[in-house]
Protein backbone atom coordinates (compact mmCIF):
# COMPACT_ATOMS: atom_id res chain seq x y z
CA UNK A 1 0.00 0.00 0.00
CA UNK A 2 1.40 3.42 -0.83
CA UNK A 3 1.86 5.99 1.92
CA UNK A 4 -1.26 8.05 2.49
CA UNK A 5 -1.62 10.67 5.16
CA UNK A 6 -4.85 9.78 6.87
CA UNK A 7 -6.40 12.69 8.72
CA UNK A 8 -9.58 12.72 10.74
CA UNK A 9 -10.94 15.41 8.41
CA UNK A 10 -10.61 13.08 5.44
CA UNK A 11 -12.27 10.23 7.31
CA UNK A 12 -15.15 12.40 8.54
CA UNK A 13 -15.69 13.77 5.05
CA UNK A 14 -15.66 10.38 3.35
CA UNK A 15 -17.88 8.91 6.07
CA UNK A 16 -20.52 11.55 5.40
CA UNK A 17 -20.17 11.67 1.61
CA UNK A 18 -20.46 7.93 1.25
CA UNK A 19 -23.15 7.23 3.84
CA UNK A 20 -21.15 5.71 6.69
CA UNK A 21 -21.66 8.16 9.55
CA UNK A 22 -23.79 11.29 9.93
CA UNK A 23 -23.98 13.77 12.75
CA UNK A 24 -26.94 13.07 15.02
CA UNK A 25 -29.87 15.45 14.39
CA UNK A 26 -27.73 17.29 11.87
CA UNK A 27 -30.53 19.51 10.54
CA UNK A 28 -30.88 20.91 14.08
CA UNK A 29 -27.20 21.67 14.35
CA UNK A 30 -26.15 18.26 15.64
CA UNK A 31 -25.81 16.85 19.15
CA UNK A 32 -22.35 16.40 20.54
CA UNK A 33 -21.39 12.87 21.47
CA UNK A 34 -23.99 11.16 19.26
CA UNK A 35 -23.72 9.93 15.67
CA UNK A 36 -25.96 8.13 13.20
CA UNK A 37 -24.83 5.26 11.03
CA UNK A 38 -25.90 5.49 7.39
CA UNK A 39 -26.51 2.70 4.88
CA UNK A 40 -22.82 1.76 4.55
CA UNK A 41 -22.12 2.41 8.24
CA UNK A 42 -24.76 0.03 9.54
CA UNK A 43 -23.65 -2.71 7.14
CA UNK A 44 -20.08 -2.29 8.33
CA UNK A 45 -21.11 -2.17 11.98
CA UNK A 46 -23.21 -5.31 11.62
CA UNK A 47 -20.35 -7.10 9.94
CA UNK A 48 -17.83 -6.19 12.61
CA UNK A 49 -20.32 -7.35 15.23
CA UNK A 50 -20.92 -10.57 13.34
CA UNK A 51 -17.17 -11.15 12.92
CA UNK A 52 -16.54 -10.65 16.63
CA UNK A 53 -19.53 -12.79 17.58
CA UNK A 54 -18.38 -15.66 15.42
CA UNK A 55 -14.85 -15.38 16.69
CA UNK A 56 -15.96 -15.42 20.33
CA UNK A 57 -18.91 -17.83 20.35
CA UNK A 58 -18.88 -20.07 17.28
CA UNK A 59 -15.12 -20.60 17.43
CA UNK A 60 -15.06 -21.24 21.19
CA UNK A 61 -17.13 -24.18 22.45
CA UNK A 62 -17.25 -22.80 25.97
CA UNK A 63 -18.57 -19.31 25.22
CA UNK A 64 -22.26 -18.51 24.95
CA UNK A 65 -24.12 -15.29 24.24
CA UNK A 66 -26.39 -12.97 26.17
CA UNK A 67 -28.42 -9.86 25.48
CA UNK A 68 -29.18 -8.13 28.76
CA UNK A 69 -31.38 -5.05 29.12
CA UNK A 70 -29.84 -1.60 29.08
CA UNK A 71 -31.84 -0.65 32.17
CA UNK A 72 -30.87 -2.55 35.31
CA UNK A 73 -31.68 -2.46 39.00
CA UNK A 74 -29.93 0.62 40.46
CA UNK A 75 -28.25 -1.51 43.14
CA UNK A 76 -26.20 -3.10 40.35
CA UNK A 77 -24.28 0.13 39.96
CA UNK A 78 -23.71 0.46 43.68
CA UNK A 79 -22.33 -3.07 43.81
CA UNK A 80 -20.17 -2.51 40.74
CA UNK A 81 -18.61 0.60 42.22
CA UNK A 82 -19.87 2.88 39.46
CA UNK A 83 -21.99 5.12 41.71
CA UNK A 84 -18.95 5.83 43.83
CA UNK A 85 -16.04 5.57 41.43
CA UNK A 86 -17.15 6.07 37.85
CA UNK A 87 -16.12 9.68 37.79
CA UNK A 88 -13.87 11.92 35.77
CA UNK A 89 -12.10 14.93 37.32
CA UNK A 90 -13.60 18.04 35.77
CA UNK A 91 -12.36 21.63 35.59
CA UNK A 92 -14.00 24.63 33.93
CA UNK A 93 -12.51 27.86 32.67
CA UNK A 94 -14.21 30.85 34.24
CA UNK A 95 -13.31 33.03 31.28
CA UNK A 96 -13.90 31.07 28.05
CA UNK A 97 -16.24 28.50 29.69
CA UNK A 98 -14.10 25.69 28.26
CA UNK A 99 -14.52 22.35 30.03
CA UNK A 100 -11.68 19.88 30.48
CA UNK A 101 -10.81 16.56 32.04
CA UNK A 102 -8.20 17.47 34.65
CA UNK A 103 -6.17 14.39 33.74
CA UNK A 104 -6.00 15.46 30.10
CA UNK A 105 -4.55 18.95 30.39
CA UNK A 106 -0.87 19.74 30.98
CA UNK A 107 -0.01 19.38 34.71
CA UNK A 108 1.44 22.90 34.85
CA UNK A 109 -1.88 24.37 33.71
CA UNK A 110 -3.63 22.43 36.44
CA UNK A 111 -1.12 23.51 39.08
CA UNK A 112 -1.36 27.18 38.09
CA UNK A 113 -5.12 26.93 37.49
CA UNK A 114 -4.59 28.33 34.02
CA UNK A 115 -6.84 27.45 31.10
CA UNK A 116 -4.86 25.65 28.35
CA UNK A 117 -6.96 27.41 25.67
CA UNK A 118 -7.25 31.06 26.78
CA UNK A 119 -5.08 31.37 29.89
CA UNK A 120 -8.12 32.27 32.01
CA UNK A 121 -8.65 31.05 35.56
CA UNK A 122 -9.72 27.43 36.10
CA UNK A 123 -12.18 26.27 38.76
CA UNK A 124 -11.24 23.68 41.40
CA UNK A 125 -11.30 20.09 40.21
CA UNK A 126 -14.56 18.33 40.97
CA UNK A 127 -15.68 14.77 40.47
CA UNK A 128 -18.23 14.23 37.77
CA UNK A 129 -20.11 10.93 37.51
CA UNK A 130 -20.34 9.68 33.94
CA UNK A 131 -23.56 7.72 34.31
CA UNK A 132 -26.72 9.04 32.68
CA UNK A 133 -29.71 8.99 35.00
CA UNK A 134 -33.32 8.58 34.06
CA UNK A 135 -36.59 7.64 35.71
CA UNK A 136 -38.59 4.48 35.62
CA UNK A 137 -42.31 5.13 36.10
CA UNK A 138 -44.29 8.36 36.07
CA UNK A 139 -42.91 9.98 39.22
CA UNK A 140 -39.69 11.88 38.79
CA UNK A 141 -38.10 11.29 42.16
CA UNK A 142 -35.27 9.20 43.54
CA UNK A 143 -37.50 6.12 43.98
CA UNK A 144 -37.62 5.55 40.22
CA UNK A 145 -33.98 6.37 39.57
CA UNK A 146 -32.33 4.12 37.01
CA UNK A 147 -29.14 4.50 34.99
CA UNK A 148 -28.40 3.92 31.35
CA UNK A 149 -25.71 1.25 31.62
CA UNK A 150 -22.19 2.63 31.17
CA UNK A 151 -20.89 -0.83 30.22
CA UNK A 152 -22.42 -4.11 29.15
CA UNK A 153 -20.34 -6.21 31.55
CA UNK A 154 -22.63 -5.93 34.59
CA UNK A 155 -25.50 -7.53 32.66
CA UNK A 156 -23.26 -10.57 32.27
CA UNK A 157 -22.23 -10.74 35.94
CA UNK A 158 -25.77 -10.60 37.27
CA UNK A 159 -26.74 -13.40 34.87
CA UNK A 160 -23.78 -15.59 35.79
CA UNK A 161 -25.91 -18.18 37.62
CA UNK A 162 -28.76 -18.10 35.10
CA UNK A 163 -26.46 -18.83 32.19
CA UNK A 164 -24.31 -21.35 34.05
CA UNK A 165 -27.30 -23.37 35.25
CA UNK A 166 -29.54 -23.14 32.19
CA UNK A 167 -26.75 -24.19 29.84
CA UNK A 168 -24.93 -26.51 32.25
CA UNK A 169 -21.72 -24.58 31.73
CA UNK A 170 -18.57 -25.77 33.42
CA UNK A 171 -15.75 -23.51 34.44
CA UNK A 172 -13.84 -22.26 32.54
CA UNK A 173 -16.53 -20.69 30.40
CA UNK A 174 -17.40 -17.32 28.95
CA UNK A 175 -20.40 -15.12 28.19
CA UNK A 176 -20.31 -12.73 25.26
CA UNK A 177 -22.49 -9.70 24.68
CA UNK A 178 -22.80 -6.84 22.22
CA UNK A 179 -24.81 -3.79 23.09
CA UNK A 180 -25.19 -0.10 23.68
CA UNK A 181 -23.52 1.69 26.53
CA UNK A 182 -23.83 5.31 27.61
CA UNK A 183 -21.36 7.64 29.27
CA UNK A 184 -21.74 11.33 29.88
CA UNK A 185 -18.26 12.02 28.54
CA UNK A 186 -16.91 15.48 29.34
CA UNK A 187 -14.93 15.79 26.17
CA UNK A 188 -16.25 14.14 23.03
CA UNK A 189 -13.97 14.76 20.12
CA UNK A 190 -12.23 12.87 17.37
CA UNK A 191 -15.44 11.94 15.57
CA UNK A 192 -16.85 8.61 16.80
CA UNK A 193 -13.78 7.73 18.89
CA UNK A 194 -15.34 8.90 22.15
CA UNK A 195 -19.07 9.36 22.19
CA UNK A 196 -21.79 9.46 24.82
CA UNK A 197 -23.74 6.66 23.19
CA UNK A 198 -21.68 3.80 21.80
CA UNK A 199 -21.58 0.04 21.43
CA UNK A 200 -19.42 -2.45 23.21
CA UNK A 201 -18.48 -6.03 22.50
CA UNK A 202 -17.57 -7.64 25.78
CA UNK A 203 -16.74 -11.15 26.82
CA UNK A 204 -16.40 -12.21 30.43
CA UNK A 205 -14.53 -15.45 31.00
CA UNK A 206 -15.07 -17.21 34.35
CA UNK A 207 -12.12 -19.21 35.64
CA UNK A 208 -10.93 -21.02 38.74
CA UNK A 209 -8.82 -18.80 41.00
CA UNK A 210 -5.17 -19.63 40.47
CA UNK A 211 -5.67 -20.33 36.76
CA UNK A 212 -6.43 -16.68 36.04
CA UNK A 213 -2.94 -15.62 35.00
CA UNK A 214 -2.71 -18.35 32.36
CA UNK A 215 -6.14 -17.51 31.02
CA UNK A 216 -5.24 -13.85 30.95
CA UNK A 217 -2.30 -14.63 28.67
CA UNK A 218 -4.48 -16.90 26.57
CA UNK A 219 -7.01 -14.11 25.98
CA UNK A 220 -4.33 -11.56 25.24
CA UNK A 221 -3.06 -13.82 22.45
CA UNK A 222 -6.59 -14.49 21.14
CA UNK A 223 -7.50 -10.85 21.00
CA UNK A 224 -4.29 -9.95 19.23
CA UNK A 225 -4.88 -12.57 16.54
CA UNK A 226 -8.45 -11.34 16.06
CA UNK A 227 -7.13 -8.10 14.57
CA UNK A 228 -4.77 -10.03 12.34
CA UNK A 229 -7.70 -12.03 10.97
CA UNK A 230 -9.54 -8.77 10.38
CA UNK A 231 -6.75 -7.68 8.10
CA UNK A 232 -5.60 -4.77 10.26
CA UNK A 233 -2.11 -3.39 9.67
CA UNK A 234 -0.47 -4.98 12.72
CA UNK A 235 2.32 -2.39 12.73
CA UNK A 236 -0.29 0.09 13.92
CA UNK A 237 -1.22 -1.95 16.97
CA UNK A 238 0.59 -2.13 20.27
CA UNK A 239 0.07 -3.29 23.83
CA UNK A 240 -0.12 -0.90 26.72
CA UNK A 241 0.10 -2.39 30.17
CA UNK A 242 -1.62 -0.42 32.93
CA UNK A 243 0.78 0.84 35.57
CA UNK A 244 -0.19 0.73 39.25
CA UNK A 245 -1.59 4.28 39.01
CA UNK A 246 -3.85 3.37 36.08
CA UNK A 247 -5.25 0.06 37.31
CA UNK A 248 -8.97 0.13 38.04
CA UNK A 249 -9.93 -0.57 41.64
CA UNK A 250 -10.96 -4.14 40.77
CA UNK A 251 -8.12 -5.11 38.44
CA UNK A 252 -5.15 -7.34 39.16
CA UNK A 253 -3.64 -6.82 35.72
CA UNK A 254 -4.75 -4.94 32.62
CA UNK A 255 -3.54 -4.42 29.09
CA UNK A 256 -4.99 -2.24 26.38
CA UNK A 257 -4.61 -2.92 22.70
CA UNK A 258 -3.89 0.46 21.18
CA UNK A 259 -4.22 1.51 17.56
CA UNK A 260 -2.39 4.36 15.92
CA UNK A 261 -5.28 6.63 14.98
CA UNK A 262 -4.59 9.92 13.15
CA UNK A 263 -4.43 11.58 16.59
CA UNK A 264 -1.92 9.03 17.91
CA UNK A 265 -1.99 5.68 19.71
CA UNK A 266 -5.30 5.26 21.53
CA UNK A 267 -7.11 2.45 23.29
CA UNK A 268 -9.07 0.07 21.12
CA UNK A 269 -9.82 -2.67 23.58
CA UNK A 270 -8.98 -3.72 27.11
CA UNK A 271 -8.07 -7.16 28.44
CA UNK A 272 -8.48 -7.21 32.20
CA UNK A 273 -8.00 -9.62 35.06
CA UNK A 274 -10.88 -8.52 37.28
CA UNK A 275 -10.28 -11.15 40.00
CA UNK A 276 -13.35 -12.22 42.00
CA UNK A 277 -14.28 -8.60 42.64
CA UNK A 278 -17.44 -8.47 40.53
CA UNK A 279 -19.16 -11.64 41.65
CA UNK A 280 -18.12 -11.08 45.27
CA UNK A 281 -19.66 -7.62 45.23
CA UNK A 282 -22.88 -8.84 43.60
CA UNK A 283 -23.08 -11.67 46.12
CA UNK A 284 -22.65 -9.16 48.91
CA UNK A 285 -25.16 -6.61 47.57
CA UNK A 286 -27.80 -9.06 46.37
CA UNK A 287 -27.51 -11.54 49.21
CA UNK A 288 -27.55 -14.38 46.65
CA UNK A 289 -24.98 -17.14 46.63
CA UNK A 290 -22.92 -16.69 43.48
CA UNK A 291 -20.36 -19.37 44.21
CA UNK A 292 -19.64 -22.02 41.66
CA UNK A 293 -19.78 -25.64 42.76
CA UNK A 294 -16.96 -27.44 41.01
CA UNK A 295 -18.12 -31.01 40.49
CA UNK A 296 -14.84 -31.88 38.85
CA UNK A 297 -12.92 -31.18 42.04
CA UNK A 298 -14.96 -32.69 44.84
CA UNK A 299 -17.74 -30.11 44.88
CA UNK A 300 -15.33 -27.35 45.82
CA UNK A 301 -17.06 -23.98 46.11
CA UNK A 302 -15.50 -20.76 44.99
CA UNK A 303 -16.22 -17.36 43.47
CA UNK A 304 -14.74 -17.48 39.96
CA UNK A 305 -12.15 -15.01 38.76
CA UNK A 306 -13.04 -13.07 35.62
CA UNK A 307 -10.90 -12.33 32.60
CA UNK A 308 -12.59 -9.63 30.56
CA UNK A 309 -12.07 -8.64 26.95
CA UNK A 310 -13.81 -5.33 26.36
CA UNK A 311 -13.88 -3.80 22.89
CA UNK A 312 -15.70 -0.84 21.41
CA UNK A 313 -17.70 -1.73 18.31
CA UNK A 314 -18.04 1.85 17.10
CA UNK A 315 -14.37 2.47 17.88
CA UNK A 316 -13.41 -0.55 15.78
CA UNK A 317 -15.45 0.89 12.95
CA UNK A 318 -13.44 4.11 13.14
CA UNK A 319 -10.24 2.08 13.28
CA UNK A 320 -11.22 0.16 10.15
CA UNK A 321 -12.06 3.34 8.25
CA UNK A 322 -8.63 4.77 9.13
CA UNK A 323 -6.77 1.52 8.57
CA UNK A 324 -8.25 0.72 5.18
CA UNK A 325 -8.08 4.24 3.75
CA UNK A 326 -5.75 4.87 0.83
CA UNK A 327 -5.36 7.62 -1.75
CA UNK A 328 -3.75 5.97 -4.69
CA UNK A 329 -2.24 7.41 -7.84
CA UNK A 330 -3.46 5.31 -10.73
CA UNK A 331 -2.58 7.31 -13.84
CA UNK A 332 -0.61 10.30 -15.05
CA UNK A 333 -3.02 12.35 -17.10
CA UNK A 334 -2.66 15.41 -14.95
CA UNK A 335 -6.31 15.59 -13.90
CA UNK A 336 -8.45 14.50 -10.94
CA UNK A 337 -8.94 11.04 -12.44
CA UNK A 338 -5.31 10.27 -11.68
CA UNK A 339 -6.24 9.50 -8.10
CA UNK A 340 -8.63 7.18 -6.45
CA UNK A 341 -9.61 6.88 -2.82
CA UNK A 342 -10.05 3.29 -1.80
CA UNK A 343 -11.04 1.49 1.39
CA UNK A 344 -9.27 -1.86 1.54
CA UNK A 345 -11.72 -3.61 3.88
CA UNK A 346 -11.39 -7.34 4.26
CA UNK A 347 -14.19 -8.67 1.98
CA UNK A 348 -15.82 -10.28 5.00
CA UNK A 349 -16.28 -6.83 6.51
CA UNK A 350 -16.99 -4.66 3.47
CA UNK A 351 -20.48 -3.10 3.60
CA UNK A 352 -21.23 -4.21 0.05
CA UNK A 353 -19.58 -7.34 -1.30
CA UNK A 354 -20.54 -7.22 -4.95
CA UNK A 355 -21.52 -4.33 -7.21
CA UNK A 356 -23.25 -5.25 -10.45
CA UNK A 357 -22.64 -2.74 -13.24
CA UNK A 358 -23.94 -2.93 -16.81
CA UNK A 359 -21.44 -1.30 -19.17
CA UNK A 360 -24.36 0.44 -20.92
CA UNK A 361 -28.00 0.83 -20.05
CA UNK A 362 -29.09 0.01 -23.57
CA UNK A 363 -29.16 -3.09 -25.75
CA UNK A 364 -30.54 -5.27 -22.98
CA UNK A 365 -27.42 -5.01 -20.83
CA UNK A 366 -29.28 -3.42 -17.92
CA UNK A 367 -31.89 -6.22 -17.83
CA UNK A 368 -29.17 -8.84 -18.05
CA UNK A 369 -27.30 -7.20 -15.18
CA UNK A 370 -30.46 -7.07 -13.04
CA UNK A 371 -30.94 -10.79 -13.57
CA UNK A 372 -27.36 -11.54 -12.60
CA UNK A 373 -27.82 -9.46 -9.49
CA UNK A 374 -30.83 -11.56 -8.54
CA UNK A 375 -28.69 -14.69 -8.81
CA UNK A 376 -26.13 -13.24 -6.39
CA UNK A 377 -28.49 -11.66 -3.86
CA UNK A 378 -29.04 -14.71 -1.72
CA UNK A 379 -25.33 -15.11 -0.99
CA UNK A 380 -23.97 -11.57 -0.99
CA UNK A 381 -24.90 -8.02 -0.15
CA UNK A 382 -25.11 -6.48 -3.61
CA UNK A 383 -25.40 -3.03 -5.12
CA UNK A 384 -26.55 -2.11 -8.61
CA UNK A 385 -25.45 0.98 -10.49
CA UNK A 386 -26.08 1.87 -14.10
CA UNK A 387 -25.63 5.63 -13.95
CA UNK A 388 -22.69 7.38 -15.58
CA UNK A 389 -19.30 6.38 -16.90
CA UNK A 390 -18.03 2.99 -15.77
CA UNK A 391 -14.79 4.50 -14.40
CA UNK A 392 -16.77 6.80 -12.11
CA UNK A 393 -18.86 3.90 -10.94
CA UNK A 394 -15.73 1.91 -10.04
CA UNK A 395 -14.45 4.93 -8.11
CA UNK A 396 -17.62 5.14 -6.08
CA UNK A 397 -17.41 1.46 -5.18
CA UNK A 398 -13.70 1.86 -4.30
CA UNK A 399 -14.64 4.64 -1.90
CA UNK A 400 -17.04 2.41 0.00
CA UNK A 401 -14.65 -0.52 -0.16
CA UNK A 402 -16.63 -2.91 -2.39
CA UNK A 403 -14.19 -5.75 -3.11
CA UNK A 404 -15.81 -7.03 -6.33
CA UNK A 405 -17.33 -5.14 -9.26
CA UNK A 406 -19.05 -7.26 -11.87
CA UNK A 407 -19.40 -5.70 -15.27
CA UNK A 408 -21.88 -6.90 -17.83
CA UNK A 409 -20.82 -6.09 -21.39
CA UNK A 410 -21.60 -7.13 -24.95
CA UNK A 411 -19.60 -10.32 -24.63
CA UNK A 412 -21.87 -11.35 -21.74
CA UNK A 413 -24.71 -11.49 -24.26
CA UNK A 414 -22.73 -13.84 -26.41
CA UNK A 415 -21.08 -16.25 -24.00
CA UNK A 416 -22.62 -15.59 -20.57
CA UNK A 417 -19.33 -14.45 -19.07
CA UNK A 418 -18.79 -11.29 -17.02
CA UNK A 419 -15.73 -9.40 -15.83
CA UNK A 420 -14.91 -9.34 -12.13
CA UNK A 421 -12.81 -6.38 -11.08
CA UNK A 422 -10.70 -6.76 -7.99
CA UNK A 423 -10.80 -3.62 -5.85
CA UNK A 424 -7.22 -3.79 -4.62
CA UNK A 425 -5.36 -4.71 -7.80
CA UNK A 426 -7.98 -3.26 -10.19
CA UNK A 427 -7.33 -6.29 -12.39
CA UNK A 428 -10.26 -7.79 -14.24
CA UNK A 429 -10.91 -11.42 -14.88
CA UNK A 430 -13.55 -13.02 -17.08
CA UNK A 431 -15.68 -15.48 -15.22
CA UNK A 432 -18.59 -17.50 -16.46
CA UNK A 433 -21.95 -16.55 -15.03
CA UNK A 434 -22.57 -20.07 -13.78
CA UNK A 435 -19.39 -19.99 -11.63
CA UNK A 436 -19.76 -16.48 -10.24
CA UNK A 437 -20.98 -17.33 -6.74
CA UNK A 438 -18.33 -19.95 -6.06
CA UNK A 439 -15.64 -17.74 -7.63
CA UNK A 440 -16.47 -14.87 -5.25
CA UNK A 441 -16.81 -17.17 -2.26
CA UNK A 442 -13.39 -18.63 -2.99
CA UNK A 443 -11.86 -15.17 -3.36
CA UNK A 444 -13.27 -14.11 -0.01
CA UNK A 445 -11.93 -17.20 1.73
CA UNK A 446 -8.46 -16.85 0.29
CA UNK A 447 -8.24 -13.08 0.69
CA UNK A 448 -4.72 -12.16 1.63
CA UNK A 449 -4.16 -8.73 3.11
CA UNK A 450 -0.41 -8.99 2.64
CA UNK A 451 -0.89 -8.38 -1.08
CA UNK A 452 -2.47 -4.93 -0.67
Interface residues with ligand ATP (CB under 6 A)? 151, 183, 185, 194-195, 198, 200, 267-270, 310-312, 314-315
Q: 354-358 and 404-408 as β-strands: parallel, antiparallel, unpaired?
A: parallel
The residue (of 202 and 276) whose beta carbon lies closer to ligand ATP is 202
Report the residue closest to ligand ATP, judged by CB: 312
The residue (of 99 and 377) whose beta carbon lies closer to ligand ATP is 99
The residue (of 8 and 381) whose beta carbon lies closer to ligand ATP is 8
The residue (of 190 and 428) whose beta carbon lies closer to ligand ATP is 190
- Expressed in angstroms, the distance from the first to the final Cα of the chain is 6
The residue (of 14 and 130) whose beta carbon lies closer to ligand ATP is 130
The residue (of 33 and 358) whose beta carbon lies closer to ligand ATP is 33
Distance from C-alpha of 224 to C-alpha of 368, rounded to nearest angstrom: 45
Q: Is 421 exposed, middle or buried (0-12, 13-18, 19+ CB in 10 A)?
A: buried
Distance from C-alpha of 9 to C-alpha of 444, rounded to nearest angstrom: 31
User: What is the number of other CB atoms lying within 10 angstroms of the CB of residue 20?
Assistant: 28
Shortest Å distance, C-beta 146 to ligand ATP:
20
Grouping H, G, I as helix, E, B as strand and the rest as coil, residue 401 is: coil
Contact partners, residue 274, CB within 8 Å, separation at least 6: 250, 251, 252, 305, 306, 307, 308
Shortest Å distance, C-beta 194 to ligand ATP:
4
Shortest Å distance, C-beta 267 to ligand ATP:
5
Shortest Å distance, C-beta 407 to ligand ATP:
39
Q: Residue 282: in which H helix or E strand, if any?
A: helix 277-286
Whether the CA torsion 99, 100, 102, 106 is positive or negative: it is negative
User: What is the number of other CB atoms lying within 10 angstroms of the CB of residue 25?
Assistant: 11
Q: Are 338 and 332 in contact (CB under 8 A)?
A: yes
Shortest Å distance, C-beta 155 to ligand ATP:
14
The residue (of 193 and 345) whose beta carbon lies closer to ligand ATP is 193
Shortest Å distance, C-beta 388 to ligand ATP:
37
Summarize the chain as % helix, strand, coil (round to 5).
35, 30, 35
The residue (of 249 and 445) whose beta carbon lies closer to ligand ATP is 249
Distance from C-alpha of 383 to C-alpha of 385, rounded to nearest angstrom: 7
Whether the CA torsion 240, 245, 247, 252 is positive or negative: it is positive
The residue (of 86 and 215) whose beta carbon lies closer to ligand ATP is 86
Per-residue DSSP letters for 138-158?
A: S--SGGGEEEE-S-SHHHHHH
Q: Residue 383: in which H helix or E strand, if any?
A: strand 382-384
Shortest Å distance, C-beta 130 to ligand ATP:
8
The residue (of 184 and 428) whose beta carbon lies closer to ligand ATP is 184
Shortest Å distance, C-beta 17 to ligand ATP:
23
**H-type alpha helices, 307-415:** 313-324, 365-377, 390-400, 410-415
Distance from C-alpha of 96 to C-alpha of 370, rounded to nearest angstrom: 58
Shortest Å distance, C-beta 100 to ligand ATP:
14
Shortest Å distance, C-beta 28 to ligand ATP:
22
Amino acid sequence: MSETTVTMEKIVSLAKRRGFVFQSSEIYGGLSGAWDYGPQGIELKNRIARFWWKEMTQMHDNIVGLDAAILMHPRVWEASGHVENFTDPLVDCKKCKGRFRADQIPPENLAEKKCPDCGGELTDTRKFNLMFKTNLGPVEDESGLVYLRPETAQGIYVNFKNVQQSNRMKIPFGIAQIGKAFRNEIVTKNFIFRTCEFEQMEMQFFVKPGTDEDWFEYWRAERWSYYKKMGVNMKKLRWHRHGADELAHYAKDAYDIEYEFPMGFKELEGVHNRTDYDLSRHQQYSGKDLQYIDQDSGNERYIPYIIETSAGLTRQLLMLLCDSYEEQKISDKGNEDDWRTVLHFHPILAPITVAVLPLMKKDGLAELAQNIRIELKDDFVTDYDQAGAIGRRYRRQDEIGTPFCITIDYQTKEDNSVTVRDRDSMLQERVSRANLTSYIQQKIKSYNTASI
